Structure 1
Amino acid sequence: MIERFYLKDYLSFKEIELNPTAGLVVFTGPSGSGKSILMKSILSSLGVDACEAALCESSVTWELDAAETGIENDDINIFKHIKKEKSRYFINNQSVSKKAISGLSSNYLRHLSLKDFSDFENENLVSIIDTRIQNKSTDIQRIKESYKKSFLEHRDVKIELDKIEEEERKIVELKEFAAFEIGKIQDIDPKISEDEELIEIKKELSRKEKVMETISSANAIFESEHLVSSALDSLDADSSFFDDAMNELRALFESAEARFNELEEIDIEEVLNRIEELGSLKRRYGSIEEALAYKEQKILELAKYENIEITKDELVKKEAKLSKEVQESAELLSELRAGELASFSKDLNSYLKELYLRDAQVSMQETELSTYGKDEILINLNNTELQKVSTGEFNRLRLALLAVKSEYMSQNGGILMLDEIDANLSGEESMSVAKVLRQLSKHFQIFVISHQPQLTSMGEQHFLVHKNEDESMVKELSFEERIDEIARIISGDSVSNEAKIFAKELLEASR
């Protein structure tokens, strides 16, 4: 529920704060006082609508799943819309998108102002029927769980089987392609890091002749080696450093000559051709490692193609078994739902009678299997499709459906927001709507704008929206103040004693 609402700088509203209670909360006031503007700002704070208010903020008791939303849950969560140059939305001072905030709100809030068919979606209607059955027999929950498990498993098996059958149609091509890809890599038979080693050999071969020439020229230094040693001896100098350096140089030259002599046996054309072969694999697969990994993948695929018939036979048997289980469970669910349909229809029409509407026709037909079975629940009003009934009739039908659903609700259903749902109704019709809303208020916090005394008198909290000069104000009314406001609704600005008496009787009766 919304525990607190704050609004600042929106059209004729300067600053207001409301502390709504649970139950049926009614807003009344003269035309043009700002009731619809106020309702719009409340919706805007929750991301369901948009307005130009500097700030609109709702403190709600909704539970937030931190893992799913990324927002830490508080005892009271604050939803906020701020408008400066552009709109910004916050939950617990954490910036969020309008889509995110409206998505969260939609789990708890329904705005019954337009023709929203979500309450008549098949999944919701089936859920209402199943909940009613469950209150009489717990077997349905077990059947539903068994059905859903089999349905999902069957769906996965069917997808896998369809994939195999698709592969079967092109199995020859797939096998040939896999074998061709494997053969192409095996023919080259690459080794990891082989390309790097060959490139190094290529570099060595390309500089072999030049390096050997420089070594040959440098070998002349050894012809004068004995002269240097004699000179050092004549100077009584230690010649060991020179001997060591010359020995190290001699070893270096000999090692290089030996390495280059080994390259004499290597065919440069073969090296270049091998580098080109490995290069073609790298260009196709990215690297030698990736080419080898691809080959292993194709080997596994080829083995799979070879065994595809065995796999298919097993899946066909499994699919048939699961299909039977799904059909049997779906049939059991259909029988239970069909048995409950008359009772559901009777209760729905009982509320419709209270709301001065003719009977609705409820039927069930078979549809495509889904996670909740094979049943489609259809509701028509006065043998007319819902898309063609008036908005007033549609919304009263929604109230009746919500009332039927609420009979078996064990928890709070969230918030309902209604804008003049009793407009253009007679006094009796308005009272019927009020009684249904009062019942729903056991499970929902309901915000409603009303111009009728009957619905207004049934409110458990009453706010008056009025203007003081050009500024809109909101005031929570006491019992005596409610009498005056209801009397004004009855008789207009010139309130009569008879209107006051009738207003008081309505309020006392609603208690």
Structure 2
Amino acid sequence: MLTNLSIKNYALIDQLNVSFTKGFTVITGETGAGKSILLGGLSLVLGKRADLSSLRDKTLKCVIEAEFNIEKYNLNSFFTKQDLDYESTTIIRREIQPSGKSRAFVNDTPVTLDILSKLGERLIDVHSQHQTLQLGDTNFQLKVVDALAGNSKILIKYSSALNEYQSLVKELEELIIFRDNASKEQDYNSFLLKELESAPLKEGILEELEEEYEQLNNVELIMEQLATGNQLLNEEQIGVIGALSQLKQVTTKLSGFSSKYNSLNERVQSVFIELDDIATELQDFIENTEANPKVLEEVNAKLQLLYDLQKKHSVLTIEELVAVREDLSKKVSTTENIEATIKEKEEALSKQKNVLEEIVISLRNRRQKIIPNLKKQLESSLSILGMPSASFKIEVVPSEKYKTSGKDDLIFLFSANKGGNYGELKKVASGGELSRIMLVIKAILAKYEDLPTIMFDEIDTGVSGEISGQMGVIMKNMSADMQVFSITHLPQVASKGNQHYKVHKTENTQGTTTNLYMLSKEERVVELAEMLGGKEHSDSAIAHAKELLSGV
């Protein structure tokens, strides 16, 4: 609930600080005293856009601060989602600089106007005659029906099921689009895949083929060099092996004369063994190396295929070609299996639709069951408010589409006169009738759900004194469960308040100033007397005022 309101440098308000309590609070004042200014200032902390013209002193900033007790508002998740510090006593501040720049804060954390507006909607419901247009909105009407039917939990279940259903619809649509597009590319993708699958794509294959190609392409030069090497090693007169064999004989003889020659002999023996092994391997190369044009052609073809594939798919490595092959494989496989996938998705969608329809039917049954009760409450309450012939025709009609609140349309028709024709509220009800209907609906809602603080802004305009008294009783009864404000010009409503504030305008050499203060019991008598009979405070007006207050 709203516990404190501070306004500085706004319109006709120089500085104002006022505290509020629970229950029913009434605000009165002469026409032009500034009741609308007070409401305008409050609307700024609820997210309304700022206007530089609202500054009283154009050289100073305007600061409006509202303090709320939000323990019963279940706003923890909202604060968490918006990354705000949750405090049971929350302070909202709005600042308007002389430059026109506006800033908003929640518990000293800067917030956007969008966040402020969303929070404001959960804190105060400001209701004036203009808001009666809401009565013609089907969503609002369904909200009333659902509140009476206690549908909050089933609506959460419906919302979850609807989200799942919509996700499946979207997935199915995407699969169908993919199928339609993929079928056009299927043949080409299959061709590309077969081409890559036929290629020898393995790690290191390119290097192996390039090496083999170099050997086959230069086989004559290789054979020439192998022959030369063999000749150098084995030539009878100057061959290295023959010379080394003679050297081995020399070191063997030397080792017989002294142990100091053993090491030298061992090294020569080792070199001879290694060189003899080299000669044998060289001979093997000679015997196994020959020109093979056919193999050279095959290797060249494989290399050219790999080079062409790299160019075709704009890649530089075999690994990248493998990745392309795997991607194409997935596309071809997905396309080949798309019909089965679509069928599975259609089956899942059908099952989810059945789940959704069960919830829809349950919602519809609960709504239809509660309508006679709603109709009875509306008509009996309006009878008390001077509309004894008021009658409603309310029907739940199945809709073709799933909506955020179910699959129902609501026919909500009204007739103010006995035997009169039924019509849409906004077309057949007068402004005064709409105000009374909205008041009754808000009062009914207050019994079934936790509403935020509500402020009625001259909702009793155009209503007679007797009926206004009944409106005041309804507002007072509402305040047993919530904080209720009423800006009123009728003494019958004002007398019902637990607290009575007066908006007062004063004029001096510095200008005109608006202020707000709470009236004592004696001051309330005077205020009500003035509202009844003017400034003269006749004895009858005083007596009438006291009589009105005695019923509080």
Does the alignment reach a TM-score above 0.5?
yes
Q: Is the 8 A contact 2:135 2:425 kept in 1?
A: no
Cα deviation, residue 59, structure 1: 0.8
Letter in 2 for 1:451: H
For residues 122 and 478 of structure 2, the distance between their equivalents in structure 1, rounded to whole angstroms, comes to 17
Q: Say whether 1:499 aligns with 2:541.
A: yes
Matches within 5 A, 1:353-432: 353-357=383-387, 358-367=390-399, 368-370=401-403, 372-382=405-415, 383-388=422-427, 389-409=429-449, 411=450, 413-432=451-470
Deviates more, 1:318-327 or 1:342-351: 318-327
Letter in 1 for 2:545: A
Please give the secondary structure, in 2, of the residue aligned with 1:374: strand
Partner residue in 2 for 1:220: none
Please give the secondary structure, in 1, of the residue aligned with 2:439: helix
For residues 171 and 313 of structure 1, the distance between their equivalents in structure 2, rounded to whole angstroms, comes to 17
Please give the secondary structure, in 2, of the residue aligned with 1:484: helix
**Alignment deviations for residues 260-317 of structure 1 (CA, whole Å, 9 cap, x no partner):** xxxxx9x99x99997786466448xx99877754543332232122223333333444
Q: Is the 8 A contact 1:281 1:288 kept in 2?
A: no
Deviates more, 1:187-196 or 1:152-161: 187-196
**Alignment deviations for residues 365-415 of structure 1 (CA, whole Å, 9 cap, x no partner):** 111233543222232332232333444332322221111212223x4x112
Please give the secondary structure, in 2, of the residue aligned with 1:369: strand
| Shift in alpha-carbon separation, 1:192–1:491, aligned structure 2, 3 A | farther
Cα deviation, residue 69, structure 1: 1.1
Matches within 5 A, 1:218-257: none
Structure number with greater Rg is 2
Matches within 5 A, 1:136-155: 150-155=161-166
Which of 369, 379, 382 is the equivalent residue of 1:349? 379
For residues 271 and 339 of structure 1, the distance between their equivalents in structure 2, rounded to whole angstroms, comes to 80
Partner residue in 2 for 1:486: 528
Please give the secondary structure, in 2, of the residue aligned with 1:6: strand
Matches within 5 A, 1:174-185: 174-180=185-191, 182=193
Cα deviation, residue 446, structure 1: 2.4
Q: Can you give the 5+ residue segments of structure 2 that lack an aligned partner in the other structure?
A: 56-61, 208-295, 416-421
Q: Is the 8 A contact 1:46 1:80 kept in 2?
A: no
Partner residue in 2 for 1:88: 103
For residues 189 and 24 of structure 1, the distance between their equivalents in structure 2, rounded to whole angstroms, comes to 87
**Alignment deviations for residues 36-87 of structure 1 (CA, whole Å, 9 cap, x no partner):** 1111101112223535241111011234543211111123111111111122
Deviates more, 1:381-390 or 1:2-11: 381-390
**Alignment deviations for residues 13-33 of structure 1 (CA, whole Å, 9 cap, x no partner):** 111101011122211111221
Cα deviation, residue 174, structure 1: 4.1
Matches within 5 A, 1:107-506: 107-113=122-128, 114-115=130-131, 117-118=133-134, 121-134=137-150, 150-170=161-181, 172-180=183-191, 182=193, 278=310, 281-282=313-314, 293=323, 295-357=325-387, 358-367=390-399, 368-370=401-403, 372-382=405-415, 383-388=422-427, 389-409=429-449, 411=450, 413-469=451-507, 470-506=512-548
Letter in 1 for 2:397: Q
For residues 430 and 440 of structure 1, the distance between their equivalents in structure 2, rounded to whole angstroms, comes to 15
- Identity of counterpart residues, as a percentage? 26
Cα deviation, residue 501, structure 1: 0.9
| Shift in alpha-carbon separation, 1:145–1:494, aligned structure 2, 3 A | closer
Letter in 2 for 1:403: A
For residues 19 and 206 of structure 2, the distance between their equivalents in structure 1, rounded to whole angstroms, comes to 77
Between Structure 1 and Structure 2, how many residues are aligned?
A: 434
| Shift in alpha-carbon separation, 1:60–1:329, aligned structure 2, 3 A | closer
Deviates more, 1:55-64 or 1:366-375: 366-375
Partner residue in 2 for 1:223: none
For residues 17 and 317 of structure 2, the distance between their equivalents in structure 1, rounded to whole angstroms, comes to 68
| Shift in alpha-carbon separation, 1:6–1:141, aligned structure 2, 3 A | closer
Letter in 2 for 1:472: T
Q: Is the 8 A contact 1:416 1:447 kept in 2?
A: yes
Deviates more, 1:362-371 or 1:25-34: 362-371
Cα deviation, residue 461, structure 1: 1.3
Q: Can you give the 5+ residue segments of structure 1 that lack an aligned partner in the other structure?
A: 135-139, 197-264
Q: Say whether 1:57 aligns with 2:65.
A: yes
| Shift in alpha-carbon separation, 1:418–1:132, aligned structure 2, 3 A | closer
Letter in 1 for 2:31: S
Partner residue in 1 for 2:255: none
Q: Is the 8 A contact 1:403 1:436 kept in 2?
A: yes
Q: Is the 8 A contact 1:282 1:291 kept in 2?
A: no
Letter in 2 for 1:59: E
**TM-score in terms of structure 2 length:** 0.69
For residues 273 and 179 of structure 1, the distance between their equivalents in structure 2, rounded to whole angstroms, comes to 18
| Shift in alpha-carbon separation, 1:385–1:131, aligned structure 2, 3 A | closer
For residues 311 and 274 of structure 1, the distance between their equivalents in structure 2, rounded to whole angstroms, comes to 35
Q: Say whether 1:68 aligns with 2:81.
A: yes
Q: Is the 8 A contact 1:58 1:78 kept in 2?
A: yes
**Alignment deviations for residues 183-216 of structure 1 (CA, whole Å, 9 cap, x no partner):** 67668888899999xxxxxxxxxxxxxxxxxxxx
**Alignment deviations for residues 427-460 of structure 1 (CA, whole Å, 9 cap, x no partner):** 0221222122222223332222111101111112
For residues 472 and 192 of structure 2, the distance between their equivalents in structure 1, rounded to whole angstroms, comes to 76
Query: RMSD in angstroms over aligned alpha carbons?
Result: 3.6
Partner residue in 1 for 2:246: none
Q: Is the 8 A contact 1:356 1:432 kept in 2?
A: no
Q: Is the 8 A contact 2:183 2:335 kept in 1?
A: no
Deviates more, 1:373-382 or 1:396-405: 373-382
Letter in 2 for 1:400: V
Letter in 1 for 2:532: I
Deviates more, 1:187-196 or 1:293-302: 187-196
Partner residue in 2 for 1:18: 18
Cα deviation, residue 160, structure 1: 3.3
Partner residue in 2 for 1:225: none
